[in-house]
Amino acid sequence: MTNISDVYDGLRLRADFDSPWKEIIEAYFPQAMHFFFPETSALIDWERPYEFLDKEFQQIAREAEQGKRYADQLVKVWQTQGEELWLLIHVEIQGQKEDNFSKRMFTYNFRIFDRFDRPAISLAILCDPNREWRPSNYSYNYPNTRLIFEFGSIKLLDYENRFHELENSDNPFATVVMAHLKTQQTRSSPEQRKIWKFSLIRRLYDLGLGEQDIRNLYRFIDWVMILPKALENQFWEEFKQFEQERTMRYVTTGERIGYERGKQEGKKEGEQRLILRLLQRRVGELSPELQERIQSLSLNQLETLGEALLDFTAMEDLLNWLQINQSA
């Protein structure tokens, strides 16, 4: 029996878990709006180009969200009447309830209006497994002053009862939601996860999707449906056989090897970011020189530091650790 903890060892290092969500939303933004928020989608003139406002979003996000795992997109679209409209799309991927979520949704919306003089439609995609947590508004009420801020939100968990609809849909986000749900449902059964991972990827071919669409959705499924190494190797052998039988080599062996190398490099970068954030919380602001020293550590050294820093209480603890271990 495969130990599911092997899966989470990889997931802990995958600090950029929001990356596949951002990539898939950028690749299929109109389809995302049609699938999750059809009323807002109906307002938009999809014949006109839309624009992801990454620089503008960084100005409103600031430092308040350090250590959180979100996938946010600020997008400029055009309404059918010709007016410009901004959309704030937030994907909550932490997997747990967040007490200040509604307040933060309001804060982001207000910052957009305050800094850019633009009203924005705020929309949230909730990926957590808590059926009771359904934030949709932020409010306060005092004599002479009252605020009610409402935002759109959808819960991926609600699609469990609509799985047949997902299977019959050709929208890319039906595949995205199925991959997410099956990842949650197979937390204690990696063998079942492998079966579902293969089934979802095979479905891409059965739908008759083009090569680029298969590559895009394969990447998302592969990234979120993490398998222990032994099962991953089994999956890959079965998948190669499947492609050979269909005479379709969209995801080649060479691409897979390069992708695995990229994931390993991504693990180190993700671990670096995680360690730097944790150190700042434990010992305070790090100088650029200290950050460079930490970024020069190997992946094994970063993992060792990640365990050691839990006992740090001052900057001196970090300096002592680096003096002892950096040359090891």
Per-residue pLDDT of the chain (328 residues; tens, 9 = 90+): 444 344 433 444 343 445 688 889 999 999 999 999 999 999 999 999 999 998 888 888 764 454 454 678 999 999 999 999 999 998 876 556 778 899 999 999 999 999 999 999 999 999 988 899 999 999 999 999 999 999 999 999 999 999 999 999 999 999 999 999 999 999 889 999 999 999 999 999 999 998 889 989 998 998 888 888 888 889 988 888 887 787 766 665 445 555 555 566 566 777 788 888 888 877 888 888 888 888 888 877 887 888 788 777 788 889 988 988 875 5
* pLDDT value, residue 62: 63
Residue 1's pLDDT is what?
42
Q: Are 50 and 57 in contact (CB under 8 A)?
A: no
Q: Report the DSSP pairing between strands 152-155 and 84-92.
A: unpaired
**Residues whose CB falls within 8 Å of the CB of residue 61, separated by 6 or more in sequence, listed in order:** 72, 108
Could you give the angle at which helices 101-116 and 54-61 cross, rounded to 10 degrees? 120
